Structure 1
């Protein structure tokens, strides 16, 4: 007998018929002798509907009251799924995050889980019931309802799996696993049977939107085997787990991630003096703009060109702040480009194989794609290119690193 934690997203429970379908699937797992804990999101469209309601009564709703409102979506789903299971002859009980006692901090809208009291769930499992838990939500020490931020139901699922020491946490979604890259860009992209936590974390942070980053971090920290599965189609999905010796024979590169939402800013002719990087980036941080890649080039005349990337939505705000800083530093000018994209190759195999970077650069050169910036870590290489070459770059690299599905 295994203890499985399964998470079903909004599209999986988007209608009454789909909720009944999930109930049948869960019942089948239960009849195989598994203990089942189910985490669900709000029905698709519900969260947007509630946001519209909030905005219709207040221009700036209180974050606390927004959390009270938004958590009702999941509360509806857990009750309906519990009813459907009981109707199907499978004993089930629903719990909100507060009823489980998923204790969080008090950062409304983006709370972090501090601890979970699993005693209620264990008692219900011992009584032979399926336990259905509302995702995306918890409670703080003052008893306030909190939410975990976008995609928070994934985090709830992984956190419960860690607390309960589940055999596996299964994330049901609208894709049948994690692919080597986005199949909409590369038709020959293939589903991976297995990927490491490290690789998945890099893929998620670099633009792959299959899983929420915090959920992958949580799974890696507590070593929770995580599986991505399709909510309707049958199949093995993709297992996200620790690196092991059997993976030594896998390809050097596991996948290619990309992000279109990038913009680049450069301060030209900055005096090359100690602390200049801090003086440039300090004001950018102060306006809450996240900086990604950074490149600094020192010229012979004791000046430097300082370049960094930001999210495209924050380009104008960052540029305005940077122009003021440049003026204070006596820099020559500020230039920018909001039509760039980041392409990254990811793989734990890079640790033990030389020549990966040169192969990447050669591949792009053969396609006449100019590299504007480069960033590396132990298991990834990212490059910034002109946005118009993004898809060509991804396809060329996918083929060059033997990731194409075999005909």
Structure 2
């Protein structure tokens, strides 16, 4: 078997942990497998580099930030290679560029355009462990090093697994796998043996931080199966699979996710009277288009009727709210909208799975727990509700219980279709 393993910063926080991971890698190889390892930067070293850059300069070019930040992954990979050699194994560390990760020119959040792992195959052919620095690539057009954005090492691992036709991509982290809710919030959260890539994508997009959405989407498009495991234990973890659910499996609820520090943005529609309905639909479409064009991480976008005529309401992470409001104000003449407001102090809770109870069911469950809901939005695979941030954890626990996830005994959970 060819196995791609990725280890995050929490798994590589010091020399002792690096040696422990090196021993795990060699154990896998000596079991008869070819092994490719993607390492993130050690511990909090990336944050430390960002802090240092802020001390040095108030105007940090994106190109130079990429040059700076990619050094962390190269350090951890070189140290891992040394540890493998020290334990009697053979390994060769490669930068993202050396491993054939080619990207577009988008510094800070580049997209992978091609993976040509020629040197990775050469290392494997020599019987060595191939170590690849995650989070980075090379833009052919400019010749510059680029970074892949948040969760980029996960994307690197999945992209290599796809290009190498690996049997599995193992993402090692500091938790045992994917749970039905954050176990730090819900004591009865269950470890899921299997989750569909469709449901995992929804969970990642709505707050489950164990995998980033881009990683899951890349895996789904390229047919890569991911196994999320803990680097601190030998547990089986969670398999994220494209395989459809078994015949006869009905719609299920997979889990409850949450995101704190959300803001509600409202865009007033000055239209009133008989023409208000048509105008309202136009404004909703125009605002949605503008947000999409600007790649604004808006969610729960919808039209809301008000006594004054109505408004378009949506949520954004608090960190993105100032930029989003500025964008709307700059396009006021184009959209013809009224005042834009920001309301803070919210969190978003979501129920994921084709068997979710719908917006009304979620609102009722939260009302039964004494939790008010400001906004709801539903799709076929999830329903989200906006509530006060100080009641967010209560909301997660209430919905986890209402969906029978606390007491369910079946640990294999799929989406309704698995497509």
Structure 1 length normalisation: TM-score? 0.90
What residue number does 1:45 align with?
Answer: 44
What residue number does 1:138 align with?
Answer: 137
Structure 1 window deviating more from structure 2 (143-152 vs 30-39): it is 143-152
Matches of 2:389 and 2:51 in 1, distance apart? 34
What residue number does 1:149 align with?
Answer: 149
SS of 2:373 mapped into structure 1:
coil
Matches of 1:75 and 1:30 in 2, distance apart? 22
Is the CA contact (8 Å cut-off) linking 2:97 and 2:137 kept in structure 1? yes
Counterpart check, 1:195 vs 2:195: yes
Question: Could you list the per-position Cα deviations for residues 345-365 of structure 1 after superposition, in whole angstroms to 9, with x for gaps in the alignment?
Answer: 001445xxxx55554333223
Matches of 2:182 and 2:363 in 1, distance apart? 21
Counterpart check, 1:388 vs 2:395: no
Question: Could you list the per-position Cα deviations for residues 143-190 of structure 1 after superposition, in whole angstroms to 9, with x for gaps in the alignment?
Answer: 211111122111100000000011110011111101111111111111
What residue number does 1:78 align with?
Answer: 77
Q: CA deviation at 1:243?
A: 4.0
SS of 1:155 mapped into structure 2:
helix
Q: CA deviation at 1:193?
A: 0.6
RMSD, matched Cα: 2.7
Is the CA contact (8 Å cut-off) linking 2:251 and 2:354 kept in structure 1? no
Matches of 1:322 and 1:62 in 2, distance apart? 26
Aligned residues: 400
What residue number does 1:378 align with?
Answer: 380
Counterpart check, 1:96 vs 2:95: yes
SS of 1:208 mapped into structure 2:
coil
Q: Measured at CA, do residues 330 and 175 of structure 1 come closer, stay the same or move farther in structure 2, by a change above 3 Å? A: closer
Is the CA contact (8 Å cut-off) linking 1:109 and 1:146 kept in structure 2? yes
Q: How does 1:54-73 map to 2 (within 5 A)?
A: 54-73=53-72
Question: Could you list the per-position Cα deviations for residues 282-320 of structure 1 after superposition, in whole angstroms to 9, with x for gaps in the alignment?
Answer: 77678875432223245698x323322222234455456
Structure 2 unmatched ranges of 5 or more = 410-419
SS of 1:403 mapped into structure 2:
coil
Is the CA contact (8 Å cut-off) linking 2:77 and 2:131 kept in structure 1? yes
Matching residue within 286, 293, 300 for 1:293? 300
What residue number does 2:29 align with?
Answer: 30
Matches of 2:337 and 2:214 in 1, distance apart? 41
Counterpart check, 1:277 vs 2:284: yes
Q: CA deviation at 1:15?
A: 0.9
Matches of 1:286 and 1:223 in 2, distance apart? 28
Q: Measured at CA, do residues 163 and 248 of structure 1 come closer, stay the same or move farther in structure 2, by a change above 3 Å? A: farther
SS of 1:307 mapped into structure 2:
strand
SS of 1:111 mapped into structure 2:
coil
Is the CA contact (8 Å cut-off) linking 1:185 and 1:395 kept in structure 2? yes
SS of 1:245 mapped into structure 2:
coil
What residue number does 2:7 align with?
Answer: 8
Matches of 1:112 and 1:93 in 2, distance apart? 25
Q: How does 1:7-406 map to 2 (within 5 A)?
A: 7-141=6-140, 142-246=142-246, 249=249, 252-268=252-268, 270-271=270-271, 272=276, 273-274=278-279, 275-277=282-284, 289-298=296-305, 303-316=309-322, 318-319=324-325, 325=332, 329=336, 331=338, 335-349=341-355, 356-404=358-406
What residue number does 2:415 align with?
Answer: none
SS of 1:68 mapped into structure 2:
helix
SS of 2:12 mapped into structure 1:
coil
Matches of 1:3 and 1:389 in 2, distance apart? 46
Q: Measured at CA, do residues 341 and 235 of structure 1 come closer, stay the same or move farther in structure 2, by a change above 3 Å? A: same
Matches of 1:365 and 1:336 in 2, distance apart? 24
Q: CA deviation at 1:341?
A: 1.8
